[in-house]
Structure 1
């Protein structure tokens, strides 16, 4: 897989295109540590000056943008550029970068949309570039997700306060029970430590008095803890988070080109991902990676999946894909495995067409309903337990949302373990189809911001760069749709994601 261009270019950070994350790179020191250092470098972000007060931070009300080089006529295939001028609450121009903007060009009437590429010039000005891809009207939409000052708060709290969210551990022993706090690092002085033998990842629970550590039976999500002081809360209040910025720019009208050719290739692993990776038109995702298809009927889905074994590993945003398939295809029947629904595992089979689709949640940290600890397994271990075989095996993976509030090192450990297991699986079973779902946009609260999601999504893309896998760009598919953003997108978006997945499974 060729890593796509970054959708956001903060200055003066290097693009991760220039960083070699190949599994075969030769290093003079510890290869693991050198790779971790390279990966951490791809998410460096400009820091604002220290001591900036709220009124001197970037304001969505005074920040504006203008169109560069306007034309009377626009055609499909052309690009337009806008310049964003960041200003503070006093309406003074900013002199440094680091703000996080999201940009899209869209047409709710045509149910069309495409993501814009934002570049930070490091001096308070930004540019956003949009590729014109459909005939008809279009309008620019740019929102200030976070000021640079808010990003600084998020970054500090991510690394220094992993306790901002805790998890519940349920212990049962000799007729007694206890509920304690658990987390990725010790939540107290006296803890039970649980280390996975293969991945070496660790999990900690406060040791209940009188209970052996082996009596840890169940897990669930816990509570959020307030971690912001009054000053920090100002930078992350709703009125300045993900707010549209103003412009005098009106709708533009796009004309078709006289001739056009579809030069996209057949959908297959390892294809380069352009920026933008696709766009919506009439509520249908048109991939720019390859010739994706629609699967409008249950029979078209069953024809694709016949004889396949599809294993899905991830979080609830991937469970939505499983649920869509079960709801859409009458012959695909769910089997009751007598487990908690939220974390699964969930299994559906189609005996008539000879295929199955399974989803199960990844291991802790996991903010889901109460479930048995034994039901939660590491994706890497699951993959190492799959023998492989013919080309009927499909693996779909996502892992991101439950890590956004935690220090980056925990996500890096998890995603590198998964990457290494994928590498081993493809070595013994090269015909296996592996699809990696990127993260969704839609996190808008202080413990789970879209900026935090972008950081992990960038790391994931860099980590899998070089492997013959498919990266399905859910980030752009959720960021440019006309519907309001949410971490769990609406069915029309899920349908387009599933259709894109099926396009890679059944490209021939």
Structure 2
């Protein structure tokens, strides 16, 4: 059944009226055991939910030990769910539950983006002499109150993109100069109120976790990341790791690289690194440039303006180090206040195709938060385009290493996107599109880590950046 509307907020499933309990009231387990949670959802008025489709979370946390681990939830499609979270350390962790996205949120959001292309429109500024005009843009020519469109698909590297045609008789489509995010949503205020994140967690109870005969924790993988074949990184299960004493303990592998200048200078010598995506990969890039004491500057051939979302370079010729970062294609949401030259945005495929041949390239790919505002089909088209460029890269530079950075969790209440649902769909698309390249491409999963550390902001917590960068590079480098 397609969901296109809702009565009011009390008609939705509600965390305060829902019934959540540990199965068989079992609150004492041993390290490595599963803590099982029975969940029955009720509306704000106390009515029992009889359909599935809501996105839920369960996790364990023990702040005094700086410890946490994420679990997973099974949907029985009748309003009842089962949560499963593995006990990873001895102690007395709290069991936490949250309703991340309601089915109504998901359904209404998906209907809106399929109709209008974006949940939040972009904007274009047209300029000629002293004349200027701003119009709204989307990937589908269906913008309220707009009848005439400029089709910029060809300019956008064949990714669909339409902007309202200027109404001034002396301005035309060819006068498009600047690009920016807009504040205009494609949904009405009622639907925006529904989708605006009211993320609330609820403690179910405390679990007593008993130590086994060995360590006070489940431990971590003994396998060096450098010895893990790339295909394995696409076939992990929950949890992929957990935090203990503030340290991320991966159950996939242990880092084969230390976060030191010496290790990275050795690893990256004569190996150009291109990171693509958004501000989260930009933060990875900045972390690495700081470690290597490199200076970031705009690409030598890029437009100079105030916007940060442009191709950037950093390097040290005497040490044979070269790092690059580039934003992915439009739709990309930068500042609503700072407009930038439309030519700052190029396709990831074109950036990959510009990489030199016969080099041991390191390429990190990422698409998520900006493209969460559009349709899964549009997301797939971006991934497919870059994947084809990866195939071309591996032909001319067969010793290159490719890594795909997956989605991360965040619950900042400014956003309206149902991120838990979208992350699942987009992760599946990444898996499908790179399925035939999984012997050459690594998947960097950070979902469990950002659920476990209760990440709130659009960016993962800053302390996680060097941890995840080092984890990623450990697959392709060693001491």
Q: 1:459 aligns with which of 429, 432, 440?
A: 429
Q: Aligned to 1:141, what secondary structure does the other structure show?
A: strand
Alpha-carbon deviation of 1:198?
9.7
Matched, 1:364 2:330: yes
Contact 1:264–1:290 (CA under 8 A) maintained in structure 2: yes
Take 2:147 and 2:173, find their aligned partners in 1: how far apart are those partners?
Answer: 15
Matched, 1:206 2:164: yes
Matched, 1:192 2:150: yes
Partner of 2:297: 335
Partner of 1:486: 457
Alpha-carbon deviation of 1:291?
2.4
Partner of 2:202: 245
Contact 2:73–2:82 (CA under 8 A) maintained in structure 1: yes
Contact 1:58–1:94 (CA under 8 A) maintained in structure 2: yes
Alpha-carbon deviation of 1:387?
4.2
Contact 2:195–2:416 (CA under 8 A) maintained in structure 1: no
Alpha-carbon deviation of 1:101?
0.7
- 1:227-283 alpha-carbon deviations (Å, 9 max, x no partner): 2354x4564465xx3221352x21423414537784535244222323222222222
Q: Aligned to 2:436, what secondary structure does the other structure show?
A: coil
Contact 1:335–1:346 (CA under 8 A) maintained in structure 2: yes
Matched, 1:503 2:439: no
Take 1:494 and 1:316, find their aligned partners in 2: how far apart are those partners?
Answer: 12
- 1:118-176 alpha-carbon deviations (Å, 9 max, x no partner): 11011211111112223434222111122223332222223223354222212232443
Change (3 A) 1:423 1:132: farther
Alpha-carbon deviation of 1:396?
0.6
Take 2:101 and 2:228, find their aligned partners in 1: how far apart are those partners?
Answer: 36
Partner of 1:34: none
Contact 1:404–1:452 (CA under 8 A) maintained in structure 2: no
Alpha-carbon deviation of 1:77?
2.4
Alpha-carbon deviation of 1:321?
0.7
Contact 1:347–1:357 (CA under 8 A) maintained in structure 2: yes
Matched, 1:398 2:366: yes
Q: What TM-score does the superposition give when structure 2 sets the normalisation length?
A: 0.86
- 1:26-65 alpha-carbon deviations (Å, 9 max, x no partner): xxxxxxxxxxxxxxxxxxxx86798766434211101132
Partner of 1:151: 106
Contact 1:47–1:148 (CA under 8 A) maintained in structure 2: no
Q: What runs of 5+ residues in structure 1 fail to find an aligned partner?
A: 1-45
Q: 2:136 aligns with which of 178, 181, 203?
A: 181
Take 2:132 and 2:461, find their aligned partners in 1: how far apart are those partners?
Answer: 40
Partner of 2:82: 127
- 1:295-329 alpha-carbon deviations (Å, 9 max, x no partner): 34333333332332100111111111112223343
Partner of 2:38: 83
Contact 2:66–2:243 (CA under 8 A) maintained in structure 1: yes
Take 1:72 and 1:475, find their aligned partners in 2: how far apart are those partners?
Answer: 26
Change (3 A) 1:326 1:253: same
Take 2:435 and 2:246, find their aligned partners in 1: how far apart are those partners?
Answer: 30
Alpha-carbon deviation of 1:452?
4.9
Take 1:174 and 1:235, find their aligned partners in 2: how far apart are those partners?
Answer: 44
Partner of 2:378: 410
Q: Aligned to 1:195, what secondary structure does the other structure show?
A: coil
Partner of 2:214: 258
Take 1:402 and 1:329, find their aligned partners in 2: how far apart are those partners?
Answer: 29
Change (3 A) 1:261 1:342: closer
Partner of 1:32: none
Alpha-carbon deviation of 1:106?
2.1
Contact 1:194–1:204 (CA under 8 A) maintained in structure 2: yes
- 1:82-135 alpha-carbon deviations (Å, 9 max, x no partner): 111211223343222111112222222222222211110112111111122234
Take 1:292 and 1:355, find their aligned partners in 2: how far apart are those partners?
Answer: 22
Contact 1:267–1:503 (CA under 8 A) maintained in structure 2: no
Contact 1:144–1:243 (CA under 8 A) maintained in structure 2: yes
Q: What runs of 5+ residues in structure 2 fail to find an aligned partner?
A: none
Take 2:414 and 2:365, find their aligned partners in 1: how far apart are those partners?
Answer: 25
Partner of 1:310: 273
- 1:434-485 alpha-carbon deviations (Å, 9 max, x no partner): 1111122215455323235323333223322332211111222222115x42
Comparing 370-379 and 187-196, the one that deviates more = 187-196
Q: Aligned to 1:404, what secondary structure does the other structure show?
A: helix
Output the aligned Cα RMSD.
2.8
Partner of 1:141: 96
Partner of 2:400: 432
Take 2:249 and 2:47, find their aligned partners in 1: how far apart are those partners?
Answer: 41
Change (3 A) 1:355 1:502: same
Partner of 1:277: 240
Contact 2:98–2:202 (CA under 8 A) maintained in structure 1: yes
Alpha-carbon deviation of 1:66?
1.5
Alpha-carbon deviation of 1:379?
0.6
